[in-house]
């Protein structure tokens, strides 16, 4: 439990730093929006470009793991989406809820936790899970949100409008451009690598501080969170996604014990800050999203510890 807590504790510290900075007046009312814009426009695209530019495709060829983890997150995302649409939620908000339930914090928590719990052999699969989460799942969500926000009903014009919006979205353009680097057999020059790592390294900390700022603003405004929705999404993230991933890994794709343990551990991670960043980007109510990130991170201390004890 201490090893899990040592990895999760810095997340709470960064959220608390943002909350205190807002409550004490060190940062003003516009800080949440401006810091979120920095993450979405600069830091997160740099991180996505860096991940894809350094991905070695030979190491990523793990079809069983890709299928088990990818389908695990996809099933939970799709199930949540359908459930929320049946409850008459707008498509944009339903997509964000799908991300709340299926978007594992592989980038910020996955690497240190996998290293501590499973060793260096788990780092390759963790990179695969990170790409599937922050690039593939994220891209699908953005495309669906863009479609939902376009008023055009004629298919040709709708496709054109969505296409233009996607081409202007740095969260999609950056990983696509980054993937061209290894595909072309190129490598980034030293200064470019340093730039990307410095800028991309700010993505997760700044997103967590922005989350703390939002929580402070929500508290000051007296905004009430939908407790039932938050609890359902947290349960889907911490319990349903690892259960579905385990079922696929063992019963369908026959992964080795080591690969199965890695896939389930990564699926059991709490919700990352990606859904919160999208809620801020598209100006949607982030109250539920912030609650899911906070509650799932806290709850994961218990669920991940229990899982690690179970696998020995």
Rounded Cα–Cα distance for residues 149 and 126 (Å): 33
The CATH number covering residue 126 comes to 1.20.1530.20
Per-residue confidence of the chain (312 residues) as pLDDT tens digits?
666 677 677 877 888 899 999 989 898 888 888 998 898 889 888 988 888 888 777 667 889 999 999 999 999 999 999 999 999 889 999 999 999 999 998 877 787 788 778 887 887 788 888 888 888 898 889 889 888 887 766 666 667 777 777 777 787 888 889 888 888 888 889 899 999 999 988 888 888 888 888 888 877 665 567 788 899 999 999 999 999 999 999 999 999 999 999 999 999 998 988 888 888 888 888 888 888 888 888 888 889 888 888 887
SS3 98: helix
Alpha carbons 3 and 24: distance in angstroms, whole number: 32
For 99, the domain range is 2-311
Q: How many separate domains does the chain show?
A: 1
Distance between CA atoms of residues 160 and 147, nearest Å: 11
Q: CA-CA distance, 85 to 294, in Å (whole number)?
A: 24
Size of the chain in residues: 312
For residue 264, CA distances in Å to 6, 34, 98 come to 20, 36, 19
Residue 51 near residue 178, CB atoms below 8 Å: yes
Find tokens 């609890």 and name the residue. 231
Nearest to 122 by CA among 79, 47, 62, 77: 62
- What's the pTM value of the predicted model, to 2 decimals? 0.81
Instruction: State how far the Cα of 123 lies from the Cα of 62, in Å rounded to an integer.
Output: 13
Tabulate helix, strand, coil % of the chain (nearest 5): 80, 0, 20
Are 144 and 95 in contact, with CB atoms under 8 Å apart? yes
> Is 145 in contact with 282 (CB distance < 8 Å)?
yes
């Amino acid at each position: 439990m201490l090893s899990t807590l040592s990895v999760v504790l810095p997340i709470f510290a960064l959220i608390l730093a943002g909350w205190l900075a807002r409550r004490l007046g060190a940062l003003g009312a516009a800080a949440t929006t401006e810091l979120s814009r920095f993450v979405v426009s600069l830091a997160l695209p740099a991180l996505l470009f860096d991940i894809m530019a350094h991905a070695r495709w030979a190491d990523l060829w793990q079809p069983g793991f890709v299928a088990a983890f990818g389908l695990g997150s996809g099933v939970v995302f799709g199930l949540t989406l359908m459930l929320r649409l049946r409850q008459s939620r707008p498509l944009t908000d339903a997509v964000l809820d799908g991300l709340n339930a299926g978007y594992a914090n592989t980038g910020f928590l996955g690497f240190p936790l996998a290293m501590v719990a499973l060793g260096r052999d788990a780092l390759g699969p963790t990179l695969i899970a990170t790409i599937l989460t922050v690039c593939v799942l994220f891209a699908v969500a953005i495309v669906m949100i863009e479609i939902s926000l376009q008023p055009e009903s004629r298919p040709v014009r709708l496709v054109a409008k969505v296409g233009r919006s996607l081409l202007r979205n740095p969260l999609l353009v950056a990983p696509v451009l980054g993937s061209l680097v290894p595909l072309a057999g190129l490598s980034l020059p030293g200064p470019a690598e340093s730039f990307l790592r410095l800028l991309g390294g700010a993505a997760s900390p700044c997103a967590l501080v922005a989350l703390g700022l939002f929580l402070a603003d929500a508290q000051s405004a007296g905004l009430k969170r939908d407790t039932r929705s938050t609890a359902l999404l947290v349960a889907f993230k911490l319990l349903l996604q690892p259960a579905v991933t385990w079922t696929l890994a063992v019963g369908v794709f026959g992964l080795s014990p080591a690969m199965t343990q890695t896939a389930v551990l990564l699926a059991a991670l709490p919700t990352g800050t990606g859904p919160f960043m999208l809620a801020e980007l598209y100006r949607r109510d982030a109250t539920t999203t912030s609650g899911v990130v906070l509650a799932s991170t806290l709850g994961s201390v218990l669920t991940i510890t229990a899982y690690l004890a179970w696998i020995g």
